[in-house]
Chains A and B, each alone.
Chain A
Amino acid sequence: MRETKLAEQDWMTEVRAMVGREYGRVYAWDEVNAPMIRQWCEIMGVENPLYTDATYAATTEFGAIVAPPAMLQAWCLEGLHPNNYPPGSTTENPYEVLRLMEGQGYQSVVAVNSDLTFERYVKVGEKLYYTTRLDAVGEQKTTALGTGYFVTLIMSFFSEKPNGGEGGQDDKVGELLFRVFKFRPANAQPAAEAPKGDAAPAVPKIKRPKPGISDDTRFFWEGAAAGKLLIQRCKCCGTLRHPPGPVCTKCHSFEWDTVESGGTGSIYSFVVMHYPEVPPFDYPNPVGLIELDEGVRLIAGLVGVKRNEITIGQRVQVEFQAFDDGELTLPLFRPVAP
């Protein structure tokens, strides 16, 4: 029999090529300091005086307060505001490989390992940073959650030598192995039922795809977010156009402005989508080709309709709906009396 083990999909070649990639430094906001150590110990319920009692610590082999090893990752976190890293930190995204996988439909993620190892204690006054290596992307696996890939990142933590590192390389003080499973859910439900284990489940809600927005189309989406249905209009000949573009199809003028649609129109055509069921959409999913009373058409979801009662010519009225905590506002259309 022919060997039927599947070769990998082409896009995985790009993923595989990224394995081994090193991402630049992410610095700690503050050097290792006693107040932060004290607060961490209070919150975590750690009572070892080595971390908080300078008098006691002076009697130990360390001679002064050291930081709890488990705090290692905390020193280099961004703080209250996401992605707010100290100056000099890399802008590279060590998670770019996960974005690639999302693009192929592996939308969900769960953290499965977070293993810290330590080379030595760090002392008050040391300045830490870490670098990240994409260590491994496994073969495709199917688990109870779904089908996907285990992705392993290794963050190496260093203590920066003063004066630009004179006197040799920076000391490696520890390492964090962080592994996630990036997967397509086994069922098409939004992945809200990830099992709770020791590793913190990090399964984001699947969101609607965001539109690509350009300088030619931004007005439409900003209008939608403000509850306005805007149509592009040629300033030269007055032609209305949708989808918008940089130039008039009639007179080729680049000058344009917008008009606000009255929001009424009729169903020019429609479909009711059943299969495949792709999260986060609800099925059946009715979608209309709406002809606005101003004369242009647009594609939009239909709301307040019964599957068997949608008809071409049905009068509809726009309504705006926000999705994903307001990240996306779409014009949808609801039937109205003729």
Chain B
Amino acid sequence: MTNPSLSGRAAIVGLGATEFSKNSGRTELRLAMEATLDALKDAGIDPSEVEGFSSYSVDKVPEYEIARLLGCKNVKFFSQIPHGGGAACAPVMHAAMAVATGVAKVVVVYRAMNERSWYRFGTGSYGFASTPIFENVNYGWYMPHGFHTPAAWVAMFAQRYMHTYGATSEDFGRIAVAVRDFAATNPAAFFYGKPITLEEHQASRWIAEPLHLLDCCQESDGAVAMVITSAERARDLKQKPVVIKGGAQGITEGQQIMTSYFRDDITGLPEMGVVAKELYAQSGLGPDAIQTAVIYDHFTPFVLPQLEEFGFAKRGEAKEFIRAGHHARGGKLPINTHGGQLGEAYIHGMNGVAEAVRQVRGTAVNQVAGVENVLVTAGTGVPTSGLILGTV
């Protein structure tokens, strides 16, 4: 092998999605199939050519059923990435690795969920039992106190971040306002035509102080799928190739799932720092080479330390970046131009990867001019992942 690096070896060549809603009215399997067939059609690749699959371990649609319905006969690679939304970017990375090593020539990645209408992550009731398996023991430190929602787990970090760096609820609100502005002009978004003001953000009710309602995304139904193949083949396909310039996962010291409260400092996201360092090393790019980014925004507060981990702002200074409006429409790094999970939909981050694909193709509804490279991040507070996608 002459090129051991992952960078530039594979490309996203097909993109498919269902509509996003609060009640899809059909099965998750059907959503997955609609998105997958849509993506293969977009790529101009026959379903029989699919040799691999990757998704989230929390996805409830198994790849073998998709393979069966597609009529695949030669599936040689399949993987699932754990830790909820932390998986958002990693399926593309795994697909790229499979393609780069020749293990599979065409890989489908997907996320399909009726997370809103069939089950919800934010209920506070998860049925952890008292048996000694690790997950029960781990959440046993939190559940008996009623400290049991993702919003609350994020809020604990946010409170300390605010205390340490002087960020305010208004700073979180400025993120929500900017992404809702993008959502307002995205017909695929929940909140199409429904921008908000900072005053509305501040007046919205408490969910878990210091988080207001408008700091939290809405839970959603929907599916997104993509097709990954070699960069070489991508040149001959229908769509403009979206090259995978970097793909990385990250776990670091003191890592837990949403509750890494026992590190010396809890104002950063050091696992995202691991991802950032690896993405920049693989791609040979730095923050200045990124024109737009999709920064995981299930809750607003974690957007700030992500901007810091990726070097768009110095430690503790993301609030100045936000107050200057650099993240908003027309800013120097518009983020979440689809409206983010706060504004478009919560498809566990894979709708963010889809937006990055559109930005590279030049087909986004809120297209940023001159896009060469787009950063995408996955779920925060958990073992996570990231991608840099770009033009050839």
Contacts and interface: CB of A to CB of B under 8 A. Distances in A.
Contacts of A215: 132
B124 A278 contact: yes
Interface stretch (B103-111, B114-122, B384-392): B114-122
A127 B23 CA distance: 55
A93 interface: no
B148 A278 contact: yes
Chain A to chain B: the 4 pairs with minimum beta-carbon distance, closest first: A212-B136, A211-B140, A103-B127, A214-B132
A275 B160 CA distance: 21
A31 to B, nearest CB: 38
Interface of B: 23, 25-27, 60, 114, 117-119, 122-125, 127-149, 152, 155-157, 159-160, 163, 205-210, 259, 261-262, 266
A6 interface: yes
Interface stretch (A114-122, A172-180, A298-306): A298-306
A97 interface: no
Given A274-B206, A275-B205, A300-B145, A269 B132 contact: no
Nearest to B135: A212
B127 A9 contact: no
Interface of chain A, helix or strand or loop or mixed? loop
A54 interface: no
A contact residues, range: 35 or more
16 contacts: A5-B25, A6-B118, A7-B114, A10-B118, A105-B127, A212-B138, A213-B132, A214-B132, A215-B132, A271-B159, A274-B207, A276-B123, A276-B124, A278-B124, A285-B146, A287-B156
Given A7-B118, A211-B136, A278-B124, 15 more contacts: A11-B119, A208-B144, A210-B130, A211-B144, A243-B262, A271-B156, A272-B209, A273-B209, A274-B206, A275-B205, A284-B206, A289-B261, A301-B146, A312-B160, A312-B163
B156 A269 contact: yes
Given A275-B206, A287-B152, A289-B261, A312 B159 contact: yes
B118 to A, nearest CB: 5
B266 A242 contact: no
A103 B144 contact: no
Contacts of A271: 147, 152, 155-156, 159, 208-210
Interface string A86-105: 00000000000000001111
B56 to A, nearest CB: 14
A273 B144 contact: no
A209 B156 CA distance: 20
Contact of A212 (B123, B133, B209, B262): B133
Nearest to A329: B144
Interface in A202-250: 208-217, 242-243
Contacts of B119: 9-11
A297 interface: yes
A289 B358 CA distance: 41
Nearest to B267: A269
A268 to B, nearest CB: 7
